[in-house]
Structure 1
Amino acid sequence: MSAGSTLWRVGALLLIALAALWLSTWAVSEHLTEQQDESAQVDELRAAARVLVPRYRAALEAGAGREILAARMAEDAQLLRARITLIGPDGGVAADAGAEFDPSSVLGTADGAAESRAQASIERAAVTGESVAVHRVKQQGEDAKSYCLAQALRPGVGRAEVVLLRVIRPAPDAANSTVSVFGAIGSVLLAGAAFLIVGNRLNRSITRIAWSVRRASSGELDHRIGTPPLADLQRLTESLNESLGAFAEEIRRLRVQHGEQQAILQSLEGGVIALDTEHRVLSINRVAGQMLGVEPERAKGRLLEELTREPDLNRFVEEALTRGATSAEFRLRSGAQQEVRASAGSLRGADGESAGLIVLLTDVTHIKRLETVRTDFAANVSHELRTPITSIKGYVDTLLEADAYDPEKSRRFLLIIQRNAERLHAIVNDLLTLTDLERPDIRESLIMTETDAAAIAATACSQLALEADARRIRVEMEGEHGIPVRANRVLAEQALENLLSNAIKYSPQGSRVLVRWRESGGDPPGFVSFEVIDEGPGISREHLGRVFERFYRVDRSRSRHEGGTGLGLAIVKHIARAHGGEVSVQSEVGAGSCFRLDLPRGSGNSPHRAGGEAGREEP
């Protein structure tokens, strides 16, 4: 209900109360006035009776006849404008005077009810000495009042004569009452008009106050109520402005506090979910929203089971609320599909009672992956080391047991032992290189120099020239001189050698391997791209994403036959990343492979063209 409607209802009630009060006051006033008029008229009759009764008593005691007594009564009646009747001891009319009443009636009125009341007054006066009766009558069609006073001539003498004095006076003027009523109505209307004027101003002031309070409550914390035109409301507005100021300060404090809490909550690396005892979300941070695939703003107030279908999480929450479970690990099926470690703590209200649950979700996917990598690495290293060690141990035992004077067999066994020892040495060296490249500070510790890309390619090709010649593989270079590469030259050459060695091993005899370098056109910019392109069997699509993993082999039997350690491409990947670059591969089965190494470009002179077979440069 609005302030205006309330004000008008109060005003209407006040006007009704005012009208009722006036009517009550008017009725009481009319009644009192009528009683005062009746008392005054009765007092006049009594005053007359105090004079007339003794005179009539004396006349009767002196033996005056009825004619003399009637003449006296006629004079008195004319003087008093009243009717005077003398009732004898037998109850009959002894004498009667006065023309205001109908003489045909014993008591002077045709009104039976009035006559009976007059008769009753006579009887009481005969017994008690005096009786008074007042009643309304009609005189010439007009309302009037009849005043009747009966007094005994000789009180205390049994049944004696009674003098009956009667007068008729007009009833109170109805016109005056009408004027009074209309006057009262006018007063009520004037009061209503005054109320409308004052109420309208009051209503505007109250409406302005309510509007200002709504503005402040809607977020305009600096808004205050203006000074109202009515002085009686100024103290109210001052108090409200003080309250609004305190309210604004409290809201600002709560906003700052809420902002700090939200900043802390949103900056946490783990997911945080606050739930009540019915599993409704009270709060959820950004990380938890990403984990569960929900929007934090739309999650508040909704059931957790309604937001996301995660049976493991729902089961953990239920157990935490009922049995106090504190931690568990499971895999999320929605959102980012991560492995998480869930921890739960009780959410306490202001009264210290349990109000719900705080669930912390920590992403352990990377940890799980590292554990898997560590386990796989240990298994792969053990396997890779066990094979040459077993071979060495077996041939050593055979040499110890065989005929020491068979030099041919001994030489053949020693060559096998040498080859396995070299493989062990290569594996250990590659592991040490990987360990060094995986250091967090590797980029800061590398010594970078600017080297011509053609020189890096030429060095790699010359290092593998004998291996290529042994397999009758033609290695060609294509690129420009003078393209500077900012890198650690030893690592850059090692990375390119690993790619070239891989291409030579898996290329068929008599085929070609192309080593090409050029400035990257824009993806990524500021880099020099080295490409090693072979005509080998190619790599199927399902293996392309894993060829740079440690000890991963597309064809394990052929890799071991070729003598690889399984770490060459992994070393290339870490060398590229240590320089801020990347390594990638494009390949199709039966169409060969193209490995690409991107290293940062340096600043140098304009390049000039170079090409031809490995070990030869063209002008």
Structure 2
Amino acid sequence: MFKSIRWKLMVVYLLMIVFAMQLISLYFMKSLENYHLQNHTENIQSQSNVLADFLERYFVAGIQNDRRELDTLVRDFAKQTRAEIQIIDREGVIVSDSVNPQFVGQKSVQVEVTRALLGSRGEAIRMDADSGQRKKILATPIKTNYDVVGVVYIQSSLEPIYKTLKEINTLVTTAMIFVLGITSVLVIVLARTITTPLMEVTKKASDMAEGNFDQEVKVTSDDEIGKLGTAFNQLTYRLRDALDENAKEKNRLQAVLDHMSDGVIAADADGKILIINPMAQKMIGITEEQAMIKNILDVLEIQEFKKDWLHLKKKHTFETIIEHQELMYQLHVSPLKTDEAKDYGILMILHDITEREQLEQQRREFVANVSHELRTPLTTIRSYTEALVEGADADPELRGRFTEVIQNETERMIRLVNDLLELSKLDSRTIQWKFSKIDVNVVIEDVLDRFYMQLKNKGIQGILDLTEKPAYAIIDRDRVDQVLNNLLSNAIKYTGNGGSITIKSEEVIDQGRKCIKISVKDTGTGIAPKDIDRIFERFYTVDKARSREMGGTGLGLAISKEIIKAHQGDIQISSEINQGTTLSFTLPVERGGL
């Protein structure tokens, strides 16, 4: 019970009130006692002084002559002061007593009398041995011309005063008990007024500690308790806001992790996985439930890390490349730190560099192909030039043939360099495009007319299958013309005499867009399935010898693909061995962003 703040407040308040009342009562009774004693003393002192003035003439004239008158005077004063009065001469002998006449003639040995005979007033409060009463004793010297001739000795009972004080003390005590009872009730009410809101706040806080944050206390006052309730409510509001913000931040972080293109794995100091995002799960081929019960080194199968896990945890940020399930990942490892800069785990980020490595391999192959394609004509030119220098130019027929070869190889190199420059511009997007709305059928007809003689020489039939109405699209005519040139040129190269090439245009819906689809279909040798996926790679040719013999660079289809891609279209190929090849591409009727 006494652990409750309500009881503590009640006990403390009551003790304080009792102590205060006792202190006030003690001070009051002591002050009242001093007041009555001082008043009583002043009264008998004034009576004593008056009596001493009256008795001066008796001692001057001689006490023996007026003895009866002296006793009458002393008794009268004694009645007025309600005290016992003795008159003592300069020898200390009692000459008159208002109560006990038998003491007359005896010598007084009181200390106060001795002090008065010396010229000073004697004063004391003494307990009477016979009656047990407290008495006020006062000895006043009687002086004539500064000489002490006698003493007025007065004994006054103080019992009436103390009786009155006792009655007052009883009354005060009764009042204190009554006031203490009323105060106890007020203290209980006050304690409940203070503790009830505190108990409510405590209960609400306990509920919050259990996870129920939807709490609010009633504020019924503007005092400190009311301010505490207001502060508690504000705390709950801010806590709910903070939790909501934390939940939103967690959701944002989860959304970022879920949609990252890189894999993210966080582990504690023992290697136990704490977080693994969907991309990391996909890369490693594991579910989140499976990952959470495994060690990160077992999941990644990093044998060299297993040998020195402690050293790995102590490392600062570093990167390495690992292979996992025939894929290559760039692994970025950094320590997880607390606010006190203490490591408590590691963070690993996996970046799939398989495609980048493939592109790097293609780049190396591209450089090798360029070097090879340039070296071959250069070697030929060098050989024929050396032959001419060494005397072959003396033979006009031989000189003409050598010069023709040098010219052909030079033109081949020029075409190769031009194609390379074209690809470079397409890759760097530095080409100035000139888009406009043009009838694609007109472009197709112009291209076919341009190849009329080549088709006639090989006996190849050129067939047009165009839309009945104009097929308008937003295109760069020169670039689309270049694509058609490449496709038709390749079709002529790989189509035997007596074959046919069909160029078709049609309106289609591709990915929700209205497009013009153009197809170039030949009846040539066709392409093997293993080569179709690589047909648009740079310098890739199905028959390198034949292509070089016909002056091809192996870049035509790569350039065509980039041009169609810039037109926001798509290019596709289908082919069967000895059944011919069909190359088709789409051109959107309305170009986005134009």
TM range, normalised to the smaller chain?
0.5 to 0.7
Contact map agreement 1:274 1:284 (CA 8 A) in 2: yes
- Counterpart check, 1:537 vs 2:522: no
Report the residue type matching 2:271 in the other structure: H
Is contact 1:533-1:594 (8 Å) kept? yes
Distance change in 2, residues 1:244/1:340 (3 Å):
same
Instruction: Give the counterpart of 1:456 among 426, 443, 454.
Output: 443
1:278 partner SS: coil
**Distance of 1:295 and 1:226 partners within structure 2:** 50
* Structure 1 residues 447 and 389, CA gap change in structure 2 (3 angstroms): same
Distance 1:520 1:246, change over 3 A: closer
Aligned residue runs from structure 1 range 349-388, under 5 A: 349-388=338-377
Q: Please tell me whether residue 291 in structure 1 is matched to residue 278 in structure 2.
A: no
Gap regions ≥5 residues in structure 1: 1-6, 8-205, 228-233, 604-619
Does residue 465 (structure 1) correspond to residue 452 (structure 2)? The answer is: yes
| 1-structure distance, mates of 2:241, 2:512 | 54
Q: Which residue of 1 aligns with 2:271?
A: 279
Structure 1 residues 306 and 557: CA distance shift in structure 2, 3 A: same
Unaligned residue ranges in structure 2 (runs of 5+): 2-198, 220-225
Q: Give the match's secondary structure for 2:513.
A: coil
Q: Which residue pairs with 1:611 in the alignment?
A: none
- Structure 1 residues 524 and 215, CA gap change in structure 2 (3 angstroms): same
Alpha-carbon contact 2:204-2:216 (below 8 Å) kept = no
Return the alpha-carbon distance in structure 1 between the equivalents of residues 482 and 512 of structure 2: 22
Give the TM-score taking structure 1 as reference length. Answer: 0.56
Contact 2:201–2:232 at 8 Å: present in 1 too? no
* Number of residue pairs matched by the alignment: 391
Tell me, in whole angstroms, the C-alpha distance in 1 between the residues paired with 2:531 and 2:398: 42
Q: What is the distance in 2 between the residues matched to 1:325 and 1:350?
A: 18
- Aligned counterpart for 1:587 among listed residues 556, 563, 575: 575
- CA deviations on 1:389-444 (whole Å, 9 max, x unpaired) are 111111111111124332111111111111111111111111111112222465xx
The answer to whether the 8 A contact 1:537-1:591 is kept is: yes
Query: How many Å apart are 1:366 and its aligned residue?
Result: 4.0
| 1:505-531 deviation line (CA, Å, top 9, x unaligned) | 001111111111111245663111111
Aligned to 2:332: 343
Q: Which of these residues, 200, 216, 228, is aligned with residue 224 of structure 1?
A: 216
**Separation of aligned partners in 2, 1:299 and 1:225:** 45
Relative to structure 1, the CA distance from residue 315 to residue 417 in structure 2 (aligned partners, 3 Å threshold; closer, same or farther) is farther
Asked whether 1:552 is paired with 2:540, we answer yes
CA distance in 2, matches of 1:209, 1:572: 77
Deviations 1:318-361 (A, max 9, x none): 7622666822112332xxx6432212222223443321112232
Q: 1:289 to 1:475 in 2, by over 3 A?
A: same
Which of 477, 493, 504 aligns to 2:481? It is 493
TM-score, normalization: structure 2?
A: 0.58
Structure 1 pair 386/315, CA: closer, same or farther in 2 (3 Å)? farther
Aligned-partner residue type, residue 454 of structure 1: N
Q: Deviations over 1:259-293 (max 9, x none)?
A: 56556666765433221111112233454344334
Say if 2:466 is the partner of 1:479: yes
Counterpart of 2:323? 331
Alignment of 1:157-236 (within 5 A): 217-218=210-211, 221-224=213-216
Aligned pair in 2 of structure 1 residues 304, 490: CA closer, same or farther (>3 Å)? same
Q: Which residue of 2 aligns with 1:37?
A: none
Partner of 2:388: 399
Indicate yes or no: 2:330 matched with 1:320.
no
The 1:225/1:309 distance shift into structure 2, 3 A limit, reads farther
1:435 partnered with 2:427: no
CA distance in structure 2 between the partners assigned to 1:316 and 1:592 by the alignment:
60
Q: Deviations over 1:220-255 (max 9, x none)?
A: 53333689xxxxxx9999998687556545534644
Aligned partner letter, 1:555? D
Offset, 1:373: 2.2
Using the alignment, how far apart are the partners of 2:419 and 2:234 within structure 1? 77
Instruction: State the partner residue of 1:173.
Output: none
